[in-house]
Structures are given as structure tokens and as C-alpha cells.
Structure 1
Amino acid sequence: MSDILQPFVPDPVEPRRRLFNKPVPFRVIAPNLITLIALCLGLTAIRLAYEGRLEPAIIAIVVAAVLDGVDGRVARLLKGTSRFGAELDSLADFVNFGVAPALVLYSFILHDAKAFGWIVALIFAIATGLRLARFNVMIEDPDRPEWRKDFFVGMPAPAGAGTVLLPIYLHFLGWPSDWMFLPVILGYVLVIALLMVSTVPTYSGKTWGKRIPRDWVLPIFVLTVAVFGLVVSFPFEALVIITAFYLGTIPLGVMHFRRLRREHASVPVVAQEKADPENPAL
């Protein structure tokens, strides 16, 4: 018995195994640092909301959404994509765009609905998690057509967080947010949650901007400066306009998706008819 309980003494001759044999390039770390900063902003938004400071809480979530759009592009630009970064980004998105908006809305007005308000907040947070899980599975599908990369299946998590906070934007513009409008707000949050877990196609924008016509460069610069100035000077007015514009693109995206699906579905038939015009069925 005493021999069994003897402490293990490693062999001094045996070479020591190193956990990390190779240094990690900074280009791999840089996108993860951006993701961690966004995660800190999402967690800070929760704290600010429960301190009654809704305005900086909203700003924190919006900046986290901007950083979420930046980190992936930085990773692809620096060729620093990794499986670790993808998993970290997914976990950060669940906190930033699922948990944080749900808790901010609950502290804002959903708590007035008692248990039902908490259930609606839970549904939104869980819908975000389910949407992210589905995205992680679908992105690894090797059979996905190239043209489908221009579309998301359902509303993406950052867009869901930005649009679901519309009642708070309107509140800061003087719109009433008392108990009379509570059923409308509850229904609106549920609709956004259902859009995230639905199969409604929405524009992704991931393949946009790879090649920009030379004539568009200066107008894009001017438009970017104008949008930035509007967001800084009139933040909630700009957020309302951006939210309304995005919601308006959803039916346009559905029609565009259906048109592309019909076009690509007819391509094999046309190719077969050209190969054997007398017997296209072969």
C-alpha cells in the first residue's frame, strides 16, 4: 500500500515536453484581440443597463457589432483565420448580440411584463444561440453553391441585436414607452427572434466590395464621412434610419434570392439541351 501512494517522480533524463513548440504569429492573435474587445463591450453593456445608463449601453452594443464586422475581415486580410478564432467569435456573438440585448431590453421595459417579459427575453437570447449554431454548421457545407454566399439563412445575430433595440432608439427620440405600448414591444422582440431562426434569406454582404469601380471610390468616401457624421451628431436618429433601411432590404433580399435560385436551377437543363438537343432528357 505504501508503494502505491508514493508520489510520482519524473525521470530527470526524460526530455521535458513543451506545451507550445512554435511561437504564434501576431496576425493570428490580432483578430482575436478585436473579438475580445467586442466581448468586453457586450458585458459592459449589461452592467451599464442595470445601472440605468441605457445610452452608453446601447453605444457599447453598437460598437461591438461594428467590431464583429471588422474582426473577420481583418483575419482574412492578414490570413490569420483559425478554428480557435471562429469558436471565440461565435461565443462572443452569443453574449454580445443575444444575452446583452435581451438583458438591456428587460431592464428597459420588459420587466414591466413580469414573467412574460422574462420569457420573451429568454426566447430572443436562445434564438440567437440557435441561429449561431446553425450558421457554424452551414458554413462547413462543401456543397453550398457559390451564389448563396451573398445571403444569410435568417437574420444574422449582429443585425438582430441592432434591430431589436429599436424601441430604445425611439425612446430616446421622445416616443412613449409606457405599459400601453408594452404588447407592441413584446411582439416586436418575438418577431425579430423568429426572423433569426427562420430560413428567410437576408443579404450577407461578405462578397461585396472586393472590386470597386474607380468612379465609385470618391462617392463612397463622401458617403462614409456623411454617415459617420450623422451617427456621431444624431446617433439615435441615425440608428432608427439604419434599422428601418435594413428591415426594408429583407423583402428585397427574398425576391433576389428566389430569382437567383430559379436562374441557377435552370442552368443544368440548358446545358443538357445544348449537349443533346434531340434528347435533352439523356
Structure 2
Amino acid sequence: MATEVQVGADGKVKRQPSRGMFILPSLFTAGNIAAGYYAITQSVQGSVADPAFFDRAALAIGFAILFDGLDGRIARMTNTTSDFGKELDSLADVITFGVAPSLLAYIWGFRMLPLMARPHLREQIVHIGVFVCFVFLICGASRLARFNISINPQPRNPGRPGRKYFVGMPIPAGAGVIASVVHFENGSPIEDPKMAVLWLCLILFTGFLMVSSWRFWSGKEISLGSRHPFQLVAVVGALIALIALYSEYMLLIIALGYLVSGVLARLAYSWSRERRHHTGVPQG
């Protein structure tokens, strides 16, 4: 697996990674798919009597988010980005962050509802739950398709110049919202119809955020090559330790905090624009 050498137009020698190096990012993508498949198998085995299956499904989605973040960074670091890798990553995301969380959200939040005095009401909630979970899936797939065809997309509420933002909530973050709530409950399914309705609203709102044009922090400016790499390593290490000790609380705070950050950014932009309009300040 020798490194290939090419001469650029400027006459400088450029070393190209060996073909074997292109497999490395795809291995993490394969881990992403494996985690999604595992989450699906655990979700269908879950029940009120054994909620640990649901909890394992939620944790598998959490690990898949980690794999998804690593494959892209490794590809850029090793200069092994490819069209094949991008397509494989998108297909993996549909499975792991679309199909797996939508199935988990349905079975955990609606299918496990106990029989009530009004069974017709339960049946209606379950049927609506099927539709809402499908909406989440199609919103996630649409978000991926838009991301793949967009060139330098700009959010409707632009942020600080020079910073990169996601247009709409990324599908891994949307899946993280569902997984974090399930893990917070240690996999115990919803039993109260009122909570099931609240769960419906959260799934719908998360799906809306994915297809919205609101800005979400991308985190692409974070790099170990920054001015203070040791402080960054210390912060990341502390965060990992907190997640390991208090995963139920930390993962929920991170997931819902990210969701709320996009909403607050949109509200802040709308408020500042309206204030400029009333004060007569020209909008840039």
C-alpha cells in the first residue's frame, strides 16, 4: 500500500493516500450502520416487562452519532474523501438516524400504551403515532437530500460572519433527541396518554426543525490545531466523564439544549430584525 505521488500544476509534489486508507472512514460508516441495525433489533424486542431493550436501542443510536462524526473528520484529516464515501454515509444516516429512531419512537411511545377504559382512544393515538413517526423519517431523508445537493447553503437567519452553520437541524441531532428521551427514562415505555400526545408534539417539532432553514451550530471551527488545544482536550475530557457518570441527564441536556439553541437563534434574529425595522435602521 505505497503512497502515490503526483505532480501538481504548480510543479510541487503531492502525496496521495494509498487506496487502503480510503477504507478507514468507511469502517466508521459501517459501524454507524451496525449500530442502527442493532438499535432496530433491540426496539422490536422491547416490551413493558423488559424495557432494557429500548434503552440499548437508544444507546446504540448515541454511539452511531459518535461514529458519524468521526468518519467525516477522519476522511478530511487523511484526505480520503470520495463520492462513494459520501453516498455510503447518506445511506447509513437514513437507516441509523431515520428508520431506527422512528421505529423506536413508535414502539416505545405509542405501541406500548396500556389498554385504557376507552380502547378507541388508544387506537387513535397509535395510528397517529405511526403517521408522525413516518413524518419524522421523511423529514430526515429530505434533510439529507437537501444537504447533498446544496452548495454553500445559507440559513434564513444568518449568524456571525465567518462561521459555518447547518441549515436545519442535522438528522443525527434529531435522532439524538429521541434517543436521549428514551435513555432518560431507562427504556421504560410511555404509559400515560397525555405523555404520548406530548411525545407526538416533540417528534413533529423535531421533524420540522430538520427541514427548516433555521441555523444550527455546526462545530466545524473546533479543532485540535487551535490556539488552546490543551483547554479543548480538558473540556472534552470533562464532558466525556460527566456523560459516563450521568448519561441519562447529560445526553438529554445536550440533545434538548441543541434543539433549543436553534429555536432561540431564530427568535433572536426575528426580534433584532423587527427592532431594526421599528427604529428605521437599514437591514444588512
Q: State if a TM-score over 0.5 links the two structures.
A: yes
Counting matched residue pairs gives 236
Distance 1:73 1:257, change over 3 A: farther
Match of 1:130 in 2: 142
Match of 1:228 among 237, 240, 246: 240
The amino acid across from 2:26 in the alignment is: N
Query: What SS does the aligned partner of 1:165 have?
Result: helix
Contact 1:27/1:75 (CA < 8 Å) preserved in 2?
Answer: no
Match of 1:16 in 2: none
Contact 1:124/1:193 (CA < 8 Å) preserved in 2?
Answer: yes
Matches within 5 A, 1:23-172: 25-52=19-46, 53-111=53-111, 112=113, 113-139=125-151, 150-172=164-186
* Structure 2 CA distance for aligned equivalents of residues 87 and 175 of structure 1: 35
Contact 1:152/1:204 (CA < 8 Å) preserved in 2?
Answer: yes
Distance 1:234 1:174, change over 3 A: farther
* Structure 2 CA distance for aligned equivalents of residues 93 and 138 of structure 1: 17
The amino acid across from 1:200 in the alignment is: W
Distance 1:73 1:253, change over 3 A: farther
Any gaps of 5 or more consecutive residues in structure 2?
1-16, 47-52, 114-124, 277-282
Q: Quote how far apart the aligned CAs of 1:225 are.
A: 1.8
* Structure 2 CA distance for aligned equivalents of residues 255 and 186 of structure 1: 23
Q: Quote how far apart the aligned CAs of 1:254 are.
A: 3.6
| Deviation sequence 1:32-65 (CA, Å, 0-9, x none) | 1110111011011000111110111111100101
Match of 1:188 in 2: 202
* Structure 2 CA distance for aligned equivalents of residues 94 and 197 of structure 1: 14
Query: What SS does the aligned partner of 2:216 have?
Result: strand
| Deviation sequence 1:105-151 (CA, Å, 0-9, x none) | 1110222422111101100011100010000011477xxx9957611
Contact 2:108/2:190 (CA < 8 Å) preserved in 1?
Answer: no
Query: What SS does the aligned partner of 1:213 have?
Result: coil
Distance 1:139 1:254, change over 3 A: same
Runs of 4+ in structure 1 deviating by more than 4 angstroms, as ranges, are: 145-149, 173-177, 255-259
Q: Quote how far apart the aligned CAs of 1:185 are.
A: 0.6
The structure number with the bigger radius of gyration is: 1
Q: Quote how far apart the aligned CAs of 1:256 are.
A: 8.2
| Deviation sequence 1:73-104 (CA, Å, 0-9, x none) | 10000000000100000010111111100001
Question: Which one is further off, 106-115 or 126-135?
Answer: 106-115
* Structure 1 CA distance for aligned equivalents of residues 71 and 61 of structure 2: 15
The amino acid across from 2:28 in the alignment is: I
* Structure 1 CA distance for aligned equivalents of residues 246 and 44 of structure 2: 24
User: TM-score when scaled to structure 1?
Assistant: 0.75
Contact 2:62/2:179 (CA < 8 Å) preserved in 1?
Answer: no
RMSD over equivalenced CA pairs, Å: 2.9
Match of 2:13 in 1: none
Contact 1:27/1:80 (CA < 8 Å) preserved in 2?
Answer: yes
Match of 2:120 in 1: none
| Deviation sequence 1:198-227 (CA, Å, 0-9, x none) | 11111112233264223xx33322222221
Contact 2:109/2:190 (CA < 8 Å) preserved in 1?
Answer: no
Query: What SS does the aligned partner of 2:185 have?
Result: helix
The amino acid across from 2:57 in the alignment is: A
The amino acid across from 1:38 in the alignment is: N
Distance 1:224 1:208, change over 3 A: closer
User: TM-score when scaled to structure 2?
Assistant: 0.74
Contact 2:32/2:67 (CA < 8 Å) preserved in 1?
Answer: yes
Query: What SS does the aligned partner of 1:155 have?
Result: coil
Match of 1:275 in 2: none
* Structure 1 CA distance for aligned equivalents of residues 85 and 258 of structure 2: 28
| Deviation sequence 1:234-266 (CA, Å, 0-9, x none) | 21111112123212321454478789xx9xx85
